[in-house]
Amino acid sequence: MSKIKLGDTYTEKVRYTQANVDTFAQISGDNNPIHINPEYASKSIFGRCIVHGFFAGAVFSKVFGTQWPGEGTIYLYQEMKFMSPVFVEQDYNAVFEVVELDEVKHRGTIKCTLQDADGKVAIAGTAKLLNAERF
């Protein structure tokens, strides 16, 4: 695998199903009805069920640990701002860009966003990663 360089980007398509949201609610214990009860959610400001913020943001961890940079990646830091709701059964893109690189310490700072199909940012954040092989 080649080294990741400053300015490199990566995009991952993602879709959250209601079944996955329900499973996350069971695992996390966050049973807020805004996530799992369509009738309740229909009366909310969103009008329908929304994905848990931390479940939606978990795509960043998935990509970092398995695809880009991939195996051997150690998560050092993640900050996220929740900008707009993430809805079930809707297509999103997780978009990544290397904004800082320390090749001596093998660390990269990655701008990460979750965007809907129109490019509207739902989650904006920054991650710091360690990967001796890729940075």
Instruction: Give the Cα separation of 32 and 125 in Å (integer).
Output: 24
Is the pTM here over 0.85, yes or no?
yes
Q: Does domain 9-15+53-130 have CATH number 3.30.1330.100?
A: no
Q: How many CB atoms lie within 10 A of CB 20?
A: 13
Backbone dihedral angles phi then psi of residue 26, each to the nearest 5 degrees: -65, -45
Element (H, E) at 83: none
- Structure confidence at residue 115 (pLDDT): 98
Domain extents for the chain? 9-15+53-130
Strand partners, 80: 125
DSSP 87: B
CA dihedral (122, 78, 104, 64) positive or negative: negative
Both structure tokens of 104: 């001596």
pLDDT in single tens digits along all 135 residues of the chain? 899 999 999 999 999 999 999 999 999 999 999 999 999 999 999 999 999 999 999 999 999 999 999 999 999 999 999 999 999 999 999 999 999 999 999 999 999 999 999 999 999 999 999 999 999
Dihedral of the alpha carbons of 55, 60, 61, 64, in degrees to the nearest 10: 160
pLDDT of residue 1: 80
The total of other beta-carbon atoms located within 10 Å of residue 32's CB is 12
- Indicate the SS3 state at residue 62: helix
